[in-house]
C-alpha cells in the first residue's frame, strides 16, 4: 500500500449468503453524504448472467489470480470453493482512497476479518445476521439464481459464518429491512465522522 496516500476509512459488511448485506451496501452507496465507493473484488470464477468485468468483479484467470497472490498484490484473498478464489486487490483500495473516498466492502466473513486485522483502527466491520437459517434458505431459493446443490453448499457454510459474528465490531440483524438499513446507516455515519 502506498504510504503517501491519504487513507480513508474501510467499511466491511460480511454475512452468510442471503442475509441481505448486498441490499444494505447498495443502500449506503446511494447516500452521497457518506462519501463511499464500492471495493470491487477480484475472482477466478466465470462471470454469471449480466455481470460485468470491472463493475461486479475483476474476473481473472486462475493463473492470473495465483500470480497476483505470489506478487503480494492482495490485501486479502481466499479460496472459497475449490479453484474458486476471491480477493481484494491493494490497487482497488488505493484507487478509491486516491479519490478521497471511504471504501465499502461486501465480502465474505474471513476476508472481512482479515481486513479488520490489517487496519484495526480505520475499519468498521459489520456482520449482517439473518433472523434464522430457515429465512436464509428461503431468501436463497427466492433469488432463483442457483442450483439446489449450490444453495445447500451455501447453507452448509452458514453456521460456521454465523459463529464468527461476535468477532465483528457490530451486528445488524436483518429481520426488518427498513430497520436494518437505518441501523447500518447510523453505524457507518458515526464511524466516518470520528
Helix/strand number for the chain, H first, E second: 7, 9
- 150 marked ligand binding residue: no
Query: Is 17 assigned to a binding site?
Result: yes
In whole angstroms, give the CA distance from residue 93 to residue 101.
10
Dig out the grid coordinates for 63 from the structure.
493463473
Q: Has 47 been labeled as part of a binding site?
A: no
- Backbone φ and ψ for 23, nearest 5 degrees, come out as -60, -40
CA distances (Å), 192 to each of 51, 76, 113, in order?
30, 22, 19
Question: Residue 22 annotated as binding?
Answer: yes
Q: Is 147 annotated as a binding residue?
A: no
Q: Is 18 annotated as a binding residue?
A: yes
Q: Any known ligand binding at 41?
A: no
Residue 15 annotated in ligand binding: yes
- Residues counted in the chain: 194
Binding site members: 15-22
Binding site members for ATP: 15-22
Amino acid at each position: 500500500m502506498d504510504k503517501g496516500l491519504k487513507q480513508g476509512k474501510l467499511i466491511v459488511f460480511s454475512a452468510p449468503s442471503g442475509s441481505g448485506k448486498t441490499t444494505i451496501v447498495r443502500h449506503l452507496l446511494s447516500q452521497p453524504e457518506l462519501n463511499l465507493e464500492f471495493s470491487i473484488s477480484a475472482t477466478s470464477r466465470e462471470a454469471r448472467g449480466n455481470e460485468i468485468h470491472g463493475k461486479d468483479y475483476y474476473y481473472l484467470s486462475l493463473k492470473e489470480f495465483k500470480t497476483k497472490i505470489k506478487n503480494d498484490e492482495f490485501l486479502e484473498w481466499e479460496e472459497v470453493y475449490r479453484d474458486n478464489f476471491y480477493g481484494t486487490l491493494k490497487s482497488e483500495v488505493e484507487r478509491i482512497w486516491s479519490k478521497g473516498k471511504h471504501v465499502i466492502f461486501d465480502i465474505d466473513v474471513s476476508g472481512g476479518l482479515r481486513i479488520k486485522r490489517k487496519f484495526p483502527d480505520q475499519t468498521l466491520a459489520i456482520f449482517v445476521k439473518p433472523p434464522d437459517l430457515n429465512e436464509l434458505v428461503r431468501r436463497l431459493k427466492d433469488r432463483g439464481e442457483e442450483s439446489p446443490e449450490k444453495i445447500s453448499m451455501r447453507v452448509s457454510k452458514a453456521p460456521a459464518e454465523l459463529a464468527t459474528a461476535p468477532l465483528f465490531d457490530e451486528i445488524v440483524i436483518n429481520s426488518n429491512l427498513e430497520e436494518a438499513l437505518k441501523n447500518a446507516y447510523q453505524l457507518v455515519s458515526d464511524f466516518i465522522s470520528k
